[in-house]
Chains A and B, each alone.
Chain A
Amino acid sequence: AQSVAQPEDQVNVAEGNPLTVKCTYSVSGNPYLFWYVQYPNRGLQFLLKYITGDNLVKGSYGFEAEFNKSQTSFHLKKPSALVSDSALYFCAVRDIVSNFGNEKLTFGTGTRLTIIP
């Protein structure tokens, strides 16, 4: 069974500092990995994905994520945090085998990121 772990429920970062939100995964075979952000009373918004190729993936709002196969990790990063980055962040994994809408997309439990002015 596939799974996602986000080991930190809460991450606090000072504005202007670099931020990292951690994610590790377990899946049979090669993974598709996603990061989503959720603002209060809103749905999940897609940030970025890893499919194959370059281990450093760039996404929306200046975020990037580094895929590490040996450590089965997909950490979300940003060089300089903004107060507006404060939100709930979800990592998700799916296998690459099924592509007929019946894929199982497994989400982590989320990490609440707070940027302190």
Chain B
Amino acid sequence: NAGVTQTPKFRVLKTGQSMTLLCAQDMNHEYMYWYRQDPGMGLRLIHYSVGEGTTAKGEVPDGYNVSRLKKQNFLLGLESAAPSQTSVYFCASRSAGTANQPQHFGDGTRLSIL
């Protein structure tokens, strides 16, 4: 019973490098989300997707791109990494069934940009 799986778990990048974070969920959830967690700031929404082939901007989208080519996967890309993007990234998903369904989270990707 995997739930939401994020890969990789840790990564160190140099400024200017690019990378993709992968999120996979096996709960057949329609909605998926990418957050970043920074000390003392709670979680902030980067991008989200309400279905396969659709994405939308969240609260802090600059410097990130996303894609949802398959219902179960949601990719977060950094085209040119910057030190300000050092953070812990969380993916979440939820069912579209009723309005009160909670979001389910992965264990996070810890990303350091040097």
Enumerate chain A residues within 8 angstroms of B50, measured Cβ to Cβ: 100-102
A-B contact count (CB 8 A): 58
Contact B104 A109 (CB under 8 A): no
**Tally of A interface residues using CB under 8 Å:** 25
**Among the listed A41, A49, A90, A101, which residue makes an inter-chain contact with B43, where contact means beta carbons less than 8 Å apart?**
A90
Q: How far is the CA of A108 from the CA of B40 in the complex (A)?
A: 9
Q: How far is the CA of A51 from the CA of B102 in the complex (A)?
A: 11
Q: Which residue of B lies closest to A6 (CB)?
A: B42
Contact A51 B42 (CB under 8 A): no
Give A66 Cβ to nearest chain B Cβ, in Å. 18
Q: How far is the CA of A51 from the CA of B50 in the complex (A)?
A: 22
In this complex, which of A34, A42, A43, A102 has the most chain B Cβ atoms within 10 angstroms of its Cβ?
Answer: A43
Q: Which of B15-47 contact A (CB under 8 A)?
A: 30-31, 40-43, 45
**Tally of B interface residues using CB under 8 Å:** 28
Give A41 Cβ to nearest chain B Cβ, in Å. 7
Contact A102 B107 (CB under 8 A): no
- Report, nearest first, the 3 A-B pairs whose CB atoms are least far apart: A101-B31, A101-B50, A43-B105
Interface residues of A (CB under 8 A from B): 4, 32, 34, 36, 41-46, 49, 51, 90, 96, 99-105, 107-110
Selected A-B contacts with CB under 8 Å, 27 pairs: A32-B99, A34-B102, A36-B105, A41-B107, A42-B107, A43-B107, A46-B103, A46-B104, A49-B100, A90-B42, A96-B99, A99-B96, A99-B98, A99-B99, A100-B50, A101-B30, A101-B48, A101-B51, A101-B96, A102-B48, A102-B56, A104-B59, A105-B103, A108-B42, A109-B40, A109-B41, A110-B42
